[in-house]
Structure 1
Amino acid sequence: MADDLTNEQLYDQVRWDEIVWRRARELGISRRAFLRLLAASGAALALDPWRGPRAFAQEPLVVKPTPPHLFVDFGSNKEMRWENMARQGYTVPNEMFFVRNHSRTQRIDPLTWRLRIEGSGVRRPLDLTYDVIRAMPHVTVTRYVECAGNGRSFFEERYNQRAQGTQWKLGAIGVAEWSGVRLREVLERAGLKDTARDVMPVGLDDLQVRRPMSIQKALADDTLVVTAMNGEPLPPDHGFPVRILVPGWIGIANIKWVGRIEVSETPLYSAWNTTSYVMIGPSYQLQPPARGPVLSTQNIKSAFELAWPAELRAGRHTIRGRAWSPAAPIARVEVSLDREITWQTARLVGPNIAAAWARFEFEWDARPGTYSLRARATDAAGNRQPAAVPFNEQGYLYNAVIGHPVTVQ
């Protein structure tokens, strides 16, 4: 096959086109009419049998407003602009939270929606309605969700080689208060077996994005079937009616628009843990059936609450930022104003939650010139941002220290 399906974006597009072509045939649309539709609008969703042939024209890729002062526009993906977090509290408001879609935001009717629990790892498959899930005991946790490709654009800056996929800087992350039912309680209702090994939520998007997790992770206290975000019903762009929260794991594990959960006594695989979301490159070995080491846990990072690039007036400033780690609370953030010749320790302020983040700040008497501000975070488990990370083709897990360009006038 000529297509390189190790390319995350190309993979999504190829699978999308296959689905559209199949639906075109099912609906009896000719090749010529099919191509006219694509030429007119790229109308994949126009052929969605659940919404009818005229739905696409009225449906945007993302539902919520994504104005350019809040987001960097990557089509169906929207990157948060960090400078806006300087005026915010600990969590990211829903209207500012980044969006990562493999196709487009789904609109699902909660009255007809069902969550199916099935597979060899449960004794009694069952369907749960939205009302039933809403009536189950809920817990609330504060955690981040972060795309595995957050920071991807910096591979090209360091290696002069562009990694595949959306060229995020550092805004493909957000912390929210997530409320929902513990996943283990949902699985127990279906008679979870002691022999269960893997759990795989499946989304109701057009690609049916799905990715397995270990039974141990599925049973963790903070792995949730989420119904609410920051005290509001889960917005469509973030997975309504329910999504899965898998704290500390890469964003793809936090499946949106979940309609089915497979529980298995044997290992589960999907394209999202064999072809994509694996490490492919000269520093990584094949791990069949995956094309490289399979990603699960995120890594430690930090970012300044500044525009990219930033411009400041000469004088005294309080520079703020945030640091996060899946493993432990943040222990220390060091900053450098002179390209890592010297480092100073920033102050940590406010809450400091593992698998969420800590805010930091420092004072800077800024003089005219051009600067490259650096932040280097260390967590309580001893993990520290490295000076460099090896290149991988799909651009995952870039967490090296980054130079943030600042001009002082």
Structure 2
Amino acid sequence: MTPHLSRLTNAHVTWRALTAMIAAVAAVAGSFAYAGLTPAFIGEPAATFVVETMPAAIVNAVLDTLGSFAEPASFLLALALVIAVLTGVIFGALQFGAVADIQYLAVPLAGGLVWLLAAWTTGAPIAAIAAGFPAAAVVGIVEVAAARDPLSVRRDRTVDRSKRATLQAGFGTLSLSGLAYVAGRRRTPDSSVPYLDGGTRPPVAERALLTQANGDAFDLPNAPGLISEIGDFYTVDINTIDPIVDRADWSLSVTGAVSSEVELEYDELRDRDADRFYSTLRCVGEDLNDREMDTAVWTGIPVTDLLAAAGADEDAAYAVIHAVDGYWNTVTREAIERSYVVYGMNGRVLPREHGHPVRLLVPGNWGEVNVKWISEIELTENRQAGYWDERGWDGTGEVETVAKLWSVDRGDDGTITVGGHAYAGLEGVETVEVSTDGGDTWVEAELSPPLEGEPRDVWRQWRHSFEPTADSHEVVVRTIDGTGAVQTEEPSGAKPDGATGWVSRTIES
């Protein structure tokens, strides 16, 4: 075996592979420290790749198994993919340097290849330096430490010296990762957003609606009021890292079956007369008693204003809604004509996680059609399958009626108060009935006052107090909507078109 090839023995290769993995972790940590959770982070392209290429069967299995943990799991998978790819690249640089027998060649080679890969995938060459430099630093530390071991008289870099140097670099990278996490969180855009008028509280019109809702709300332990706080409002989308869209660069176009296409910029949207209204969103993928259902005060303009300006064809029965992140969905003409493009949430500028600068709001329909980061409304005569349609879901229609049992409060006098929220889409909630004997007998629950305004697409709180007469009670709850229809009793899972059934819960006395 030649001297050069002898450096490719199993022992050398093992420790170079470990060095490469440590350098890859350092590269990811450095990138996060500089970019935070933004599109310039090296993990973002991998996250997009995972979302776009994962088969529908696996996506649905992950959603069914992990629920709200599916998105973090997807992100971790993306990070593992990035580290694996970077490890391979850096390992190749180390092997090439060993064969070439050029001392420290692997240092610039590893750093340069990592930078090149990061710049190519993210489109951010400056930010890519934050990935390339830590990778080169780890390789350099190992190379220098292994070459300058004062305890050995041998000139060749031995496996023992490589072990020691690699472990030292590993401990250093672990410390770097902790600091990088802190720095990266600070670099990640803050979820706190300014008020719509730039003041210190919501504008007058939004404040009036918020005040009304807060005054009418029940105080239910472990349950939200009538208005969900922005930070607690559920978020579901196809991204692990949300896009950053500058309002100055944003525009919305109305295309397809129209007399003339219309394009609206952000400032033009804000200059139009706005509507303020309550509306509830519910995720089609949630389990029956999950908490992916929330309500906010929204600010925006009716889509009908834009359709009229574009001269929408009467034969256009559908609208395909496109988003900046590549997401799309299809709604009926009837649904789009009662929709809004909104730019405000609870009196604040629409947050990034909820589609900043502008999203679609379709009152009464499942959450998946309320497209965030909206960029185009395309009118068509024929229905086109949406993003989730292609993955086996059918959640573009109106929501299923539901009553949630979220709160149990035991009073000092022994009484038990149960409560939660009921939602029936555009039909509105008329009555909530509660049974404490497993459904044999029913009584009406107390309801919060209906929030005024149109559309009626808003939840109501309910509560019911009873004195326990047994060691435990099977509490069941159901909703009757504004048409007199009783909530569907037959249980079903979330897929394909939303969970149904009556929520029941065993309450111990």
Q: Same fold (TM over 0.5)?
A: yes
In 1, Cα distance between equivalents of 2:239 and 2:306: 28
- Cα distance per residue 1:371-390 (max 9 Å; x no partner): 33211111121222233234
For the 8 Å contact 2:419–2:461, the answer to whether it is kept is yes
User: What does residue 8 of structure 1 align with?
Assistant: 60
In 2, Cα distance between equivalents of 1:144 and 1:48: 36
Deviation at 1:209, TM superposition (A): 1.4
TM-score by length of 1: 0.70
Report the residue type matching 1:47 in the other structure: T
Question: CA 1:339 to 1:327, structure 2 compared with 1: closer, same or farther past 3 Å?
Answer: same
Report the residue type matching 1:261 in the other structure: I
**Matching of residue 375 in structure 1 with residue 477 in structure 2:** yes
User: What does residue 359 of structure 1 align with?
Assistant: 461
C-alpha RMSD over aligned residues: 3.8
Where in structure 2 are the equivalents of 1:256-335 lying within 5 Å?
256-278=372-394, 295-306=396-407, 315-335=414-434
Secondary structure class of the residue paired with 2:268? helix
Secondary structure class of the residue paired with 2:425? coil
Q: Which protein has the larger Cα radius of gyration, Structure 1 or Structure 2?
A: 2
Question: CA 1:219 to 1:4, structure 2 compared with 1: closer, same or farther past 3 Å?
Answer: closer
**Matching of residue 348 in structure 1 with residue 447 in structure 2:** yes
**Matching of residue 85 in structure 1 with residue 256 in structure 2:** no
User: What does residue 145 of structure 1 align with?
Assistant: 281
Secondary structure class of the residue paired with 1:386? coil
The structure that is helix-richer by fraction is 2
Deviation at 1:362, TM superposition (A): 1.8
- Cα distance per residue 1:18-76 (max 9 Å; x no partner): xx9xxx9xxxx98944999xxx9xx99993437965699847999649xxxxxxxxxxx
Question: CA 1:368 to 1:10, structure 2 compared with 1: closer, same or farther past 3 Å?
Answer: closer
- Cα distance per residue 1:85-122 (max 9 Å; x no partner): 35x3x221212211112213322111112223222x12
In 2, Cα distance between equivalents of 1:106 and 1:357: 30
In 2, Cα distance between equivalents of 1:2 and 1:396: 21
Unaligned runs of 5+ in 1: 66-81, 153-168, 279-293
In 2, Cα distance between equivalents of 1:389 and 1:184: 37
User: What does residue 239 of structure 1 align with?
Assistant: 355
Secondary structure class of the residue paired with 1:271? coil
In 2, Cα distance between equivalents of 1:327 and 1:181: 19
Report the residue type matching 2:343 in the other structure: T
Deviation at 1:235, TM superposition (A): 1.1
Deviation at 1:335, TM superposition (A): 0.8
**Matching of residue 127 in structure 1 with residue 263 in structure 2:** yes
Aligned length: 335
**Matching of residue 398 in structure 1 with residue 499 in structure 2:** yes
In 1, Cα distance between equivalents of 2:56 and 2:232: 33
Q: Which has the higher contact order (CA 8 A, sep 6+)?
A: 1
Report the residue type matching 1:304 in the other structure: L
Report the residue type matching 2:398 in the other structure: T
Question: CA 1:34 to 1:398, structure 2 compared with 1: closer, same or farther past 3 Å?
Answer: farther
Question: CA 1:50 to 1:198, structure 2 compared with 1: closer, same or farther past 3 Å?
Answer: farther
Report the residue type matching 1:130 in the other structure: Y
Which of 486, 489, 506 matches 1:384?
486
Q: Percent identity?
A: 20
Unaligned runs of 5+ in 2: 1-52, 64-69, 93-113, 132-179, 193-219
The structure that is strand-richer by fraction is 1
Secondary structure class of the residue paired with 1:373? strand
In 2, Cα distance between equivalents of 1:50 and 1:210: 26
Report the residue type matching 1:93 in the other structure: E
Secondary structure class of the residue paired with 1:360? strand
In 2, Cα distance between equivalents of 1:277 and 1:242: 25
TM-score by length of 2: 0.57
For the 8 Å contact 1:331–1:380, the answer to whether it is kept is yes
Deviation at 1:267, TM superposition (A): 2.7
In 1, Cα distance between equivalents of 2:447 and 2:298: 24
- Cα distance per residue 1:171-229 (max 9 Å; x no partner): 11111111101111123333322332211111222xx1111111222112xx1001111
